[in-house]
A and B are shown apart, each in its own frame.
Chain A
């Protein structure tokens, strides 16, 4: 009888447990951009599926359409995404418009501490208003704009000798923005192995964010500031400072004298193509692509090396990367939070880095072996120490599009002067902040 009771209780328990687990099992959809790290995340998430019983679906949007598609989704209160790895600049709009779930209580209850993540990434990817302990995302993917170059070309004796003769110094990774330009100009139009090659591919894209991300990589090392006093929206004299003008003129000179012909609208894809096809000696792009570049059978391995965006008046790199947020319109928020909890785990973060994702967790970044774990790991750490991001205001799209227009008009379309372009940018941004009621 006892055995019968025990068997009945066991059967009931198993049935109840299986019912409970099937009731909780959700199909979560994670939305992100379609690029190399997204594939790594699919691989990583298999572990979460096995542990939690939830299944994961992914919606990856090509970069040029990513912002449009996802911001429309959020603005319309869409339920497509339960989790969103959104750009850092969206955090203001995500928080103020109620698109993202505030995570403070969840972090407190689960013992997730933001001090476990790199300060720059927490500030950039998680907080709104900036710098306050109000968290709307967990740092998911650290990133910055960096450089890579043809190490095999830099090592050739004939090229080294020609460079020495032309510039009077040794050919090596540039230590300043001006050295970077000098090297790019040296390679521009040069014959290597019977093929004409060019200096570098840089960002000039007009439609989304390309040229802004490229130009800020010059502006920040020159000491560019968005405001005279942080939080004041007082931009005149900061955005159009003499240093900013000099940096902008530098970028235009770079575009005109050291890039391949026809690179009037190039961004990540074009930069990668130019490098992989052996067209350029150097290229700028996000660190996120570096693992794939290093693994490339034709131009990777021993043929490639990486360097951080060179300083000029100071060190400065353009911030990329994203935080992972729970979408407020999702019906599966509990399961989505489970994913965040799992993702914050140091072991998962270590695996994330090993698969090609850029973890922002201190346990990974501060590991003594981290710097040597990949040829670009040390550069990544260095870059993340001096990153600066674009406006993260709710009106960021208006601010970004204004900058795209002014910069493309000046750099690519050769209209007006750098001073005029930046003055007009200040006018545009002032109008946006006036409309926002912040000025």
Chain B
């Protein structure tokens, strides 16, 4: 019998795995492979979440195991939502979130647009620009702490050079007015390259023939920018905003290194405050309620945002 392409293909196809392992269906084997992952997911994500919800209705303290645990109903939630200090933390977080994303998108997109133009040393500049995001937040925090030092800090000297002020006449980290901006500057410095890379991917995904067609139609550069570049990069930009938004909502390390939440509570973001409640004051029940509120907030906002993102993609 001569071999036909069809028979060759049939012999190359592996027999069903189920036939090799007697008594097990393909579905059962699939479960064997997926099972451990699902178990891990349940054990380290879903179970702690359910446990946290349970704790949020109690007065449990993790450092007082022997103490009687009482169900306090919604008291933890009421206390958190009616606490003016926590609303100030929320405001500080919102300020940080809004301005970091604003500057990172603005500068990141501009840099990507410039880098996308072919010029000599393009690759070298790209490498230099992405360096900050390769550093550890702890290193960046300490590094900028020195730069912001009012007496010896380079940042103060540069500002003084341009404004004619005394370098030690202002304190970036110690002033209530400037400290929120000082953390915005550092985060923008560190994470703008990330937004730039995503934007660059978006820009490079636009086929050249679209611009060529626009040129044929005598569309101006400005028109091309607003009708081709921006709409086609928008899904990428929105993705970058989502990533940075989620990351910055839970920002902790960089700000702790820079200001420790101070001066006073001016830069005490919700994550810093939550850590203090959970692992310094050990108010586990209260902190659980706090975490659930933050989780619902992020989850809710992210869900709305992802729907909007999908709509933009569909266009």
Contacts and interface: CB of A to CB of B under 8 A. Distances in A.
Contacts of A409: 264-265
Given A206-B261, A397-B282, A75 B63 contact: yes
A394 B65 CA distance: 13
A413 B283 CA distance: 26
B174 A408 contact: no
Given A97-B63, A397-B280, A261 B260 contact: no
Given A97-B63, A262-B174, A394-B64, A405 B265 contact: yes
Nearest to B268: A405
Nearest to B283: A398
Given A264-B171, A265-B173, A415-B176, A408 B263 contact: yes
A435 B171 contact: no
A408 B276 CA distance: 15
B262 interface: yes
A415 B173 CA distance: 16
A174 interface: no
Interface in A89-126: 93, 97-98
Nearest to B259: A265
A264 B263 contact: yes
Contacts of B59: 435
B168 to A, nearest CB: 4
Contact of A206 (B62, B85, B169, B262): B262
A98 B65 CA distance: 10
B150 A261 contact: yes
B281 A262 contact: no
Interface residues of A, number: 28
Contacts of B63: 71, 75, 93, 97
A348 interface: no
B315 to A, nearest CB: 47
A71 B279 CA distance: 10
A285 B259 CA distance: 22
Contacts of A227: none
Contact of B151 (A262, A408, A412): A262
Contacts of A72: 279
A261 B151 contact: yes
A342 B76 CA distance: 49
Nearest to B174: A264
A150 to B, nearest CB: 18
Interface in A405-430: 405, 408-410, 412-415
A75 B176 CA distance: 36
Q: Is the interface of B mostly helix, strand, loop or mixed?
A: loop
A116 to B, nearest CB: 33
Interface residues of B, number: 31
Interface in B280-304: 280-283
Interface centre among A93, A397, A414 (most CB of B within 10 A): A397
A344 to B, nearest CB: 30
A58 to B, nearest CB: 25
Contacts of A262: 149-151, 168, 171, 173-174
A16 B263 CA distance: 65
A207 interface: yes
A396 to B, nearest CB: 10
Contacts of A260: 151
A207 B64 contact: no
A263 to B, nearest CB: 8
B266 interface: yes
B164 interface: no
Nearest to A72: B279
Contacts of B282: 75, 397-398
A97 B67 CA distance: 9
Given A262-B150, A414-B176, A68 B279 contact: yes
A261 B62 CA distance: 40
A414 B266 CA distance: 11
Nearest to A399: B281
A397 B281 contact: yes
B66 interface: yes
A264 B151 contact: no
A263 B151 CA distance: 11
B261 A401 contact: no
Contact of B262 (A401, A408, A410): A408
Interface string B234-278: 000000000000000000000010011111111000000000100
B157 to A, nearest CB: 14
B150 A68 contact: no
A265 B280 contact: no
A398 B281 CA distance: 5
A264 B262 contact: yes
Contact of A413 (B64, B263, B279): B263
B174 to A, nearest CB: 3
Residue of B176, B259, B264 contacting most chain A CB atoms (<10 Å): B264
Given A98-B66, A412-B262, A264 B173 contact: yes
Nearest to A68: B280
Contacts of B283: 398, 435
B66 A401 contact: no
B58 to A, nearest CB: 12
Contacts of B85: 405
Interface string A370-387: 000000000000000000
B263 A75 contact: no
Given A71-B63, A98-B66, A413 B266 contact: yes
A398 B168 CA distance: 35
A270 to B, nearest CB: 11
Contacts of B64: 97, 394
B264 A408 contact: yes
A15 to B, nearest CB: 46
9 contacts: A75-B282, A98-B66, A261-B169, A264-B174, A265-B174, A265-B260, A394-B64, A397-B280, A413-B265
Interface of A: 68, 71-72, 75, 93, 97-98, 206-207, 260-265, 394, 397-398, 401, 405, 408-410, 412-415, 435
Given A401-B280, A410-B264, 10 more contacts: A207-B256, A207-B261, A261-B151, A261-B174, A262-B168, A264-B174, A264-B263, A405-B85, A413-B263, A435-B59
| CB-CB nearest 8 A-B residue pairs | A413-B264, A264-B174, A409-B264, A262-B150, A75-B63, A206-B262, A412-B263, A413-B263
